[in-house]
């Protein structure tokens, strides 16, 4: 009799505990669904690619918000040594993923994300980025329209590398970012080789994949008029915002919003 009573009590307690666990699980699942976290295809990955004078650190404000929405995130490193080398480096990084992909490029890396060939790429997102057409160079589209007066002169050194003066980050690359962010961006900058901007681009992926373009209307590096031209030529979904060249620093929520729009459209189950 005592054994039956003990088992009954244990069963009741276990049932209550499990019921509480399932209730919490259901609540969490419902919350995730409301946030759009459980609607993506398995292993869906956002691949963030940095531009010139930067590394993966530039996406520091973007990674966690995307992961919190149920997406995998990779900040793919590229050597900034030539368009071909950078495309190969991105392709090798994509080999570490297994699911559907959205590629996100900032500035120069817009040319890089459009040059890869991977059937798992579902869409492209351009963040104040450059989008040369086949046989065009990055330099050609970059200088299509008159530069902003604050745009620094970019002169290669004796090794064929272009560095930015420290004050260029404050004046042109990230004028809307916090002073601390600007100082860090200048300190961690990586030079870009001349070959990156002078090598003709291959047939771009945006001709066969849907694209989104965050146009930075206060960009002092890439003329906003040029950005609109490229976005319209691509047939991209255009999202203009009053942000500077690096909205990942100054307005990360807007960047996340545009990436999530592309993800919901192309990675949803």
Q: Quickly state the pLDDT bin for 269 (edges 50, 70, 90).
A: confident
Arithmetic mean of pLDDT over the chain: 89
Ordered by where they begin, the domains of the chain are: 45-266 (3.40.50.1820)
pLDDT over 60 (residue 37): no
pLDDT per residue as tens digits for the range 66-125: 999 999 999 999 999 999 999 999 999 999 999 999 999 999 999 999 999 999 999 999
Q: How far apart are CA 217 and CA 129, in angstroms?
A: 12
Q: For residue 38, what pLDDT is reported? A: 52
pLDDT over 80 (residue 6): no
By mean pLDDT, which of 13-22, 41-50, 214-223, 256-265 is the weakest?
13-22
DSSP secondary structure string, 34-48? HTT-TTBPTT-EEEE
DSSP secondary structure string, 137-177? -HHHHHTSSPPPTTPPP----TTSEE---HHHIIIIISTTS
Q: How far apart are CA 204 and CA 214, in angstroms?
A: 18
Q: How far apart are CA 86 and CA 93, in angstroms?
A: 11
pLDDT per residue as tens digits for the range 181-234: 999 999 999 999 999 999 999 999 999 999 999 999 999 999 999 999 999 999
Residue 224 DSSP class: H
């Amino acid at each position: 009799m005592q054994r039956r009573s003990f088992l009954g009590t244990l069963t009741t307690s276990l049932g209550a505990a499990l019921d509480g666990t399932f209730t919490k699980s259901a609540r969490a699942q419902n919350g995730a669904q409301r946030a759009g976290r459980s609607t993506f295809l398995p292993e869906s990955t956002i691949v963030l690619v940095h531009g010139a004078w930067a590394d993966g650190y530039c996406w520091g404000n973007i990674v966690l918000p995307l992961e919190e929405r149920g997406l995998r995130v990779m900040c793919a490193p590229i050597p900034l040594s030539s368009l071909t080398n950078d495309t190969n480096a991105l392709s090798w990084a994509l080999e570490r993923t297994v699911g559907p992909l959205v590629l996100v490029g900032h500035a120069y890396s817009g040319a890089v994300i459009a040059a890869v060939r991977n059937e798992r790429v579902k869409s492209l997102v351009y963040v104040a980025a450059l989008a040369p057409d086949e046989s065009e160079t990055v330099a050609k589209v970059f200088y299509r329209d008159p530069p902003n007066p604050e745009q620094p002169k970019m002169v290669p050194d004796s090794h064929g590398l272009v560095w930015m003066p420290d004050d260029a980050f404050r004046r042109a690359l990230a004028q809307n970012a916090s002073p601390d962010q600007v100082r860090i961006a200048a300190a961690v900058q990586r030079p870009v080789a001349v070959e990156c901007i002078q090598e003709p681009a291959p047939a771009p992926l945006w001709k066969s994949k849907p694209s989104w373009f965050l146009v930075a209307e206060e960009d002092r590096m890439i003329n906003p008029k040029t950005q609109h031209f490229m976005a319209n030529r691509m047939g991209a979904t255009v999202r203009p915002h009053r942000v500077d060249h690096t909205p990942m620093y100054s307005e990360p929520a807007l960047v996340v919003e545009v990436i999530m729009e592309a993800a919901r459209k192309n990675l949803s189950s």
